[in-house]
Structure 1
Amino acid sequence: MRNLRTTIAACLTATTVAGIALGVPTVASATTPNTLAPAASATAKHVVVIGVDGLLFDRIAPADAPNLDAMIASGYSSKTSLYADPMAPTLSGPGWATNLTGVWPDKHGVTSNSWGTGTNLSQYPDFLTRLEQANPSLSTFADVSWNPIVDGSAGTPLITSAVDDVQAAKGDADTAARAVAKVTSAGPNASFVHFDDVDEAGHASGAASQAYLDAIHEIDGYIGQIRAAVAKRSDAADWSFIVTSDHGHTDAGGHGGSTPAERSSFILKTGSGIAKQTPAVAPKNVDIAADVLHTFGIPIPGALDGRPLDAVSTDPFDTKAGALQARVDETGIPATTLGWTKSMPTGWTVDNTGMGTGGVSEWRGWSLASDVFWTGTETGQGREDNVRARGVFAVADSDEWSDKSHTGTFNSRIVSAPYTVTGKTSATLSFASHYRKEGNETASVLVSFDGGAWRNIETYTSDHIASIDTQTIAVPAGAKQMRVQWSLTNGDNNWYWAIDAPSVS
């Protein structure tokens, strides 16, 4: 936890500049001249990523936050969910490393607020550094209130010295003043601006407090000043904004745990050509880095976990989002949460031969589920670390199924629609896998060609946590179709297996 600073007084009078509301003491007029000439740049594109530490999306509406409200009303907006222990606690170090690098903590290696030098940040640098590496003619800028992001005081800086201008501010007012001045004078192609006072209000007073809402109002005003500075530029139409957070907060104050509030984040994006939308498949925080690279036409490295925000899902499980329903036996999940179904995508089937009777209805055999529903069954058991699944995914959870009176064991198999393999000698199967091994249950992947016998291609003997599993499969001569089966058998209170985004190429 960081040391708290006194937050700036709240309930400040709002004014308007270029149609953008301002609600904090104004930055010195010398930094905001009325006539602005954009600086020359190697590209017409400009992106400002704004990080608001500890901001809960659901607390924006109750706050006096006209700028954030306008972004939500006119642009792209979505809640997102983070990991939890044992991958990493919901702290600022892991959160900002994830947002900046575009990979999850199991790759970047930042798992605390004091991460030292034992990380993989040189292998997975921040998106500003990647821009500089790919195209040094691009101009980059970082301006942060939580200084460990850039100064090395907690470990290897999350933003490297390759960035053109890196500033560690004295506080959020200083951060805003520097950002406005930089936008005005230089117009960087890509910027990262970080504000801290919302998080400090959360620690001091809790996310359910008026002080937390007042801090949102304060930062909203600073965001308004940056947007107003951009609006005065002759190239304003070429700018876009992304706003996000590194974690959430509990109502009482604090974060680091595995509750939905602590795992909560969001992504907002506005700019020319960005229509109002809430995506059907929620993005991930790792998408921010990928989206910035995509904006500048830079290929997204395969090692990154993210994808552009406008990417379209090809996952068959996501086609069943409209079939998700409310709880039956999982009474700890809010009745309004629609998050599970037994309805399968076209061509997919579930074989429950040998499945025990009774148990928790939602998990009697393979089901489809959402993150908020599945992780809500029981926090702190590693379900939160299924970070490489998106939207709707398939779950076989013998641990939860066994929590209600039952007979027999968990025996269930989910079978894919047929994949065409005509004329092929091999096929590559890929899917996200989140498996915890315990006891005598068996988790296997099998294939069948043209309705023939099932052939085992892999049996898990250890955990596969948030992995992307691939298998190259030999195709018999003359085969036309291949089906894939994921089989979890002989389970009884023996953890779980989740799979997502299966594909064959």
Structure 2
Amino acid sequence: MRDADPDAVFVQLDNIDHAGHSYGAASQQYLDAIHGADAQVGQMVAAVKARPSYGSEDWLIMITADHGHTDPGGHGGSTLQERQTFMIAVGSALAAGSVRHDVKMPDVAVSALAHLGVALDPAWGLDGRPVQQPTPDDFDSLRGRLQSRVDETGIPASILGFTHTPPAGWSVDNSAMGTGGVTEWRGWSFTTDEFWTQAQRDQNRECNVRARGVFAVADGDEWSDKSLTGSFDSTLVSPAYPVTGGRPATLAYTTYYRQESPQKGEVLVSYDGAAPVGVKTYTADVPSRTETVTLQVPAGASSVRVRFRYTGGNNWYWVIDDVRISQS
């Protein structure tokens, strides 16, 4: 890295993993292995900075771990301690000293590709987003409002991770919602991976790989874990987005949907306050992905409002994030 001319370098430091398996993550040996890797990273960064042409080069350095470890040792399960990891990154397009909540493991590969000038083709279906191109949405503004657990006992009390207060312009219609149930999940909630995935293990919540930061979730399964009456019937309502009548528009959002009958997810739109019309229905599993729906905007319309209605009971869940309307 100091004397050659590589475009990209991948280095795997495996001693921490060995120490975790042999001695556990709560051991002195594990801590010693971390210190050893830290020293090795320091040597590599020093080699990069010692390059004669370093001043005219543009380097992106990313450091991550592919998984965590349990305190006794080992990994491969669904606990947060095994799944949780980090990215430490430095580069010309990144704010020094900043702390981000929108970065996930799939972002490593696409960040490297973007830095090398490789155009990311949506047809590739990559789950990651370049860390150099943050795209906060309305839900991310709620981080300062997140609360600690109320009824959920499996989530550490120190974690702030849910609110029922929607962002500015958004609302939640719970007029048909049943009563009781688990407080955190009564109607649409706004939450984080750290909080939601610990509500219940081994139900694939960790597969919500495309949502970022704070996202919206309707979780009939968790809501039903406490005495209740009625069914889950809640609608997440967007602000009124401006549109030009007579021209098609594109509704885009990130979704993750797990189905169990009689559950149903519906996407409805209304123009200028008219009656909502369905444009998408979910009655089968949908992996975490970006959904796009073409809207035929009526002539004369000037605004569109989107509704996400989840109905069901002790079934599964629906995640929504990054809702956007665009017109070409």
**1:146-168 CA distance string (max 9 Å, x none):** xxxxxxxxxxxxxxxxxxxxxxx
SS of 1:372's equivalent in the other structure is helix
Does 1 or 2 have the higher relative contact order (CA < 8 Å, sep 6+)? Answer: 1
1:193-218 CA deviation, whole Å, 9 max, x = no partner?
A: 11111101111111111111111122
SS of equivalent to 1:211: helix
AA in 1 matched with 2:147:
Q
> Residue 236 of structure 1 aligns to which amino acid in structure 2?
Y
Aligned to 2:66: 246
Question: Hey, what does 1:292 align to over in structure 2?
Answer: 112
DSSP-derived class of the 2:39 partner: helix
Equivalent position of 2:325 in the other structure: 504
- Most deviating of 368-377 and 312-321: 312-321
Q: Does 1:225 align with 2:40?
A: no
3-state DSSP class of the match of 1:278? coil
Given the alignment, which residue of 304, 310, 314 partners 1:493? 314
1:443 and 2:276 are equivalent in the alignment: no
Cα distance in 2 for partners of 1:364, 1:314 equals: 25
Alignment of 1:79-478 (within 5 A): 183-237=1-55, 238=57, 239-271=59-91, 274-302=94-122, 303=124, 304-478=126-300
Question: Structure 2: any 5+ residue segments left out of the alignment?
Answer: none
Change in Cα spacing, 1:347 to 1:260, as seen in structure 2 (3 Å) is same
Give CA deviations for 1:420-470 in whole Å, capped at 9, x if unaligned: 112342111111111111121221111111111111112212111212222
Deviation (angstroms), 1:305: 2.5
Number of equivalenced pairs: 322
Q: Percent identity?
A: 52
Residue type of the alignment partner of 2:218? A
Q: Give TM-score scaled by structure 2 length.
A: 0.93
**Structure 1 residue 231, shift from structure 2 partner:** 3.1
Cα gap change, 1:502/1:240 in structure 2, threshold over 3 Å: closer, same or farther?
Answer: closer
Closer/same/farther in 2, CA of residues 349 and 308 from structure 1, 3 Å limit: same
Higher radius of gyration, 1 or 2:
1
Structure 1 length-normalised TM: 0.61
Partner secondary structure for residue 12 of structure 2:
strand
Q: Residue type of the partner of 1:215?
A: A
What is the one-letter code of the residue matched to 1:216? I
In 1, Cα distance between equivalents of 2:205 and 2:60:
34
- 1: CA distance, partners of 2:208 / 2:94: 30
2:324 maps to amino acid: S
Say what the alpha-carbon RMSD is for the aligned residues. 1.6
| Secondary structure of the structure 2 residue equivalent to 1:373 | helix
Distance 1:467 1:185 in 2: 42
Q: Which stretches in structure 1 are left out of the alignment for 5+ residues? A: 1-182
**Shift of the alpha carbon at 1:274?**
4.8
CA distance in 2, matches of 1:328, 1:435: 25
Q: Distance in 2 between matches of 1:283 and 1:202?
A: 24
Q: Is the 8 A contact 1:319 1:345 kept in 2?
A: yes
